[in-house]
Amino acid sequence: MKHLIVVHGRDIKPAGSELASLSKRAIVRGLQRAGRADIAQGVASGAVRFSSAYYGDINNRIEASYSAKTAALLTAQNDAGYAFRPCFPAAELEAAYAMTDALRSFNLAAYRHVLDIADDWRLLDEAADAASLFGSLLTFGLLNTLVVETVKSDLTAYLTSQRVGSEIRARLQQVLEPALAAGDDICLVTHSLGCMVAYDVFWKYSFRSEYAHMRDAGRKVNLWLTIGCPLGEVGVQRNLLDGVVLDDEKYPRDQFLDWVNVHAEDDYIAHAESMRSAFSTMRSKKYCRSITDKKIYNCWYYRDAAKGRLVSNPHDLYGYLMNQDTAKYIAQWAA
């Protein structure tokens, strides 16, 4: 069975069911924009199975603990079963979705139009925080807590806390392992922090003894599609699970067939754009079949609830998924 699995990224999130619904709708719209109404219908109807690996409640818990201002944004309630229930209200995302979806196509002209009417996200504090974090990651290790004190975020917690990292990886494994065991034809779409989570899970499956049964089965993800991916950052690479291992134990092996990395213009998290270059060893040693990079324009924008201004966010998950160029890769896999 064709099985599309989406893994979200960092920062506060809506309820798990809301995120899954919005992600699925965005993919359907992207496929429609790409002229693949047939594949869009398959995703919408369930002929192509859709799953979301959700750890947004963990994000919300971490971010709320660091910032009272952030905690105040969590005015909705998550689905039953999540221990930390406060979450971001989906209504605000729906409004941004509607504005962005009104754009006919996502190209340079559309992106310039968004920048004409909305504040440029590159000038906001988030971009500076990301630069500070990636710079700090170049010099810190698990025993160095300086970056934790200076850049407090869920992304930092993932890299520095064994407990948090394991908790987040488990959410992906709960979805991915049964799909692999069932022999599903999998397209794994990962965004931002989710790319790091998937990479670490792939590496665990490649080397740790408790996953020998999975290696013996020889099953793999057919398409790994990364969007807004920070894995090109050297500081991030040094703090992944294989960051400190010997060279002959580096990199996931035979866990996915093809890796396509989609990066948006001005995406402050994905500005180290080329996965093909950063992970060339994986290609040369045939740990996967191919690695491809594709530049797009992420035209997502929203109205800031506090100040009422329009803001562009070229890193946004749903903006990536709604884009016709992202969708073309999903369509090629699903055809």
What was the pLDDT predicted at 152?
A: 55
What was the pLDDT predicted at 153?
A: 78
Please state, in angstroms and rounded to a whole number, the distance separating the CA atoms of residues 212 and 195.
Answer: 23
Pairing relationship of beta strands 86-87 and 185-191 according to DSSP bridges: unpaired
What was the pLDDT predicted at 147?
A: 38
Other CB atoms within a 10 A radius of the CB of residue 307 amount to 8
DSSP class of residue 33 equals H
Residue 267 CB-density burial (10 A; 0-12 exposed, 13-18 middle, 19+ buried):
buried
Please state, in angstroms and rounded to a whole number, the distance separating the CA atoms of residues 281 and 259.
Answer: 13
Q: Name which of 20-24, 104-108, 119-123, 259-263 the model is least confident about.
A: 119-123
What was the pLDDT predicted at 120?
A: 79
Of 300 and 137, which is predicted with more confidence? 300
Other CB atoms within a 10 A radius of the CB of residue 95 amount to 13
Of 73 and 306, which is predicted with more confidence? 73
Of 128 and 64, which is predicted with more confidence? 64
pLDDT of 241 strictly over 80: yes
Pairing relationship of beta strands 49-53 and 2-7 according to DSSP bridges: parallel
Per-residue pLDDT tens for 79-133?
999 999 999 999 999 999 999 999 988 999 999 999 999 987 655 545 555 655 6
294's enclosing H/E stretch is strand 290-296
Q: Name which of 27-41, 92-106, 140-154, 313-327 the model is least confident about.
A: 140-154
Of 330 and 145, which is predicted with more confidence? 330
Name the 3-class secondary structure at 231: coil
Please state, in angstroms and rounded to a whole number, the distance separating the CA atoms of residues 335 and 319.
Answer: 23
pLDDT of 68 strictly over 80: yes
Per-residue pLDDT tens for 141-171?
443 444 334 445 787 888 888 899 999 999 9
Of 146 and 191, which is predicted with more confidence? 191
